[in-house]
Amino acid sequence: MKIVKSLVLGLSVLMILMGGLWIGQGLNIIRWPAESFMIGVPQWSWNGTGLALVGLLLFWWSRRP
C-alpha cells in the first residue's frame, strides 16, 4: 500500500501544478507557451480548478496514516 500512496502522491502534485498552469493560462496571467490555444480562454481556468481540486483530494488521501 505504501508504493500506491507514493505513486498517488507524485500524481497529485503533478495534477496540482498542471491545474495551476491551466488556471493561469485561462485567466491570461501565464502566457507560456506563447502559441498555446488555452491562453485567455476562461473555460481552461475552470478545468484547471477541477484538476487542482482532485489533485488536492488525492494529496490529502495519500498523506493519511
**Distance, CA of 8 to CA of 2 (rounded, Å):** 10
Instruction: Tell the residue number behind the cell numbers 473555460, with chain if given.
Output: 43
Look at residue 36 in the predicted model and tell me its pLDDT. 95
User: Cβ atoms within 10 A of the Cβ of 60, count?
Assistant: 10
Look at residue 62 in the predicted model and tell me its pLDDT. 97
Look at residue 35 in the predicted model and tell me its pLDDT. 94
Query: pTM here?
Result: 0.93
% of the chain surpassing 70 pLDDT:
100
